[in-house]
Amino acid sequence: MVNFIQPKVDPLPTGIDLTGKIVVITGASSGMGLEVTRQLLRLRASTVILAVRNVAKGESCATSLRHDPHIKDHNPKAVIKVMEFDMDRYDSVQQFAKRLRDEIPIVHILILNAGIGLLKLERTPNGHDRTTQVNYQSNVLLITELLPYLVAGAEKTGSPARISWVGSRAHEVTSFEKKSPIESGEGVIEHMDKDEAFVPFQRYGDSKLLCALFMYSLAPRLDPKKVVFNMMCPGMVNTNMSDVLPLHLRMIVNIVKAIRARPVEAGGWIILNSALVAGPESHGKFLMDKTIADKSAFIQSAKGQETQKKLWEETVAEMNLLTTLPAEFK
């Protein structure tokens, strides 16, 4: 039961003023994403783009945010824009990226919050395991599509763009070690797409491991004076993510959440610490709450390094089939 009680999280420092800043957040219509959006607007962000699968729900959230008394009083001219972003479909990711480039001159901060955790293998229209595509490949595709645009914006403003990706501590315990090892000659993504490789209660963590491995591969190829790229885990937060569980498991998890989970406000502080407060020292790093963490034992192992190298090569090859690769990917 070590670390069962999560440490207290302090609020963001006072004095943060996002006037003039344009922020994109994915999965912004519920849970952590909606809370982070609310906090951004209360910090006077000039434009916040809600990237959501369900546009009608996103518009309802935007209306609610506009009626938030604090936002009405302190940021009444904020632009809240809702754009469709369905991570089940690569074409939707690319259409979102194109619309963003066409309609928004500069994005200062990109927060990759959207994600899912399923207990059975479902397939996307692209044929991939849905948990893996939503949590990993679609985020990578968005980064691939937006990276030159983010770099160009940083060159105009003289300040680095920020990419902050919501990860999970669950990546530290992977099925790749014992329950479902990647065989010699087997691709990482190929493995994730196999029915027999699906370990229900570790698939979410495994997909988040791919995210961390990608960050560790891409960050050294980026100039942190142009783009600061980090990842964080906000810990257990009291959101509706457990709603996908069967009723008997949901009841158990909800009891644990009642004792252990952080309020969404505290989870939002952790995400925004990575996006707004953490400096260039956080580039290419994973933050546990607000503290930079060492790479997991698996990632540091020979098997982990081999997996990271294979995943990078496979991912770049897939992205190359979908779009023009940025120079940093070559």
Rounded Cα distance, 151 and 9, in Å: 32
**What pLDDT does 243 receive?**
59
Tell me what percent of the residues of the chain surpass a pLDDT of 70. 92
Is the confidence at residue 54, as pLDDT, over 70? yes
Answer yes or no: are the C-beta atoms of 204 and 138 closer than 8 Å: no
Choice among 204, 285, 290, 310 that is catalytic: 204
Predicted pLDDT at 5? 80
Task: Please confirm, yes or no, whether 208 is among the known catalytic residues.
Answer: yes
- Among all chains, which residue has been given the structure tokens 């916040």? 48
Catalytic residue among 208, 285, 290, 310: 208
What was the pLDDT predicted at 248?
62
Q: In this predicted structure, what is the pLDDT of residue 2?
A: 43
pLDDT at 217: 98
Which residues, other chains included, contact 19 with Cβ-Cβ below 8 Å and sequence gap of 6+? 44, 45, 46
pLDDT value at 256 more than 70: no
Q: Which of the listed CATH numbers 2.60.40.2550, 3.40.50.720, 1.20.120.530, 3.40.50.620 matches domain 22-323?
A: 3.40.50.720
CB 325 within 8 A of CB 144: yes
Q: Average pLDDT over the chain, rounded to whole?
A: 94
Q: What pLDDT, in 10s, does the model give residues 259-312?
A: 676 989 999 999 999 999 999 999 999 999 999 999 999 999 999 999 999 999
Residues 181-192 have pLDDT tens digits of 999 999 999 999
Residue (of 221, 115, 214, 107) closest to 162 by Cα position: 107
Is there a catalytic annotation at residue 204?
Answer: yes
> CB count, 10 Å around CB of 86?
21
Q: Over 70: is that where the pLDDT of 94 sits?
A: yes
Q: What is the DSSP letter of 77?
A: T
* pLDDT tens digit sequence for 139-167: 999 999 999 999 999 999 999 999 999 99
Mean pLDDT, to the nearest integer, of 93-120? 97
Task: Map out the domains of the chain as residue ranges.
Answer: 22-323
pLDDT tens by residue, 203-243? 999 999 999 999 999 999 999 999 999 999 999 877 766 65
Cβ atoms 152, 216 nearer than 8 A: no
Q: Taking Cα atoms as reference points, which of 227, 242, 231, 201 lies closest to residue 299?
A: 231
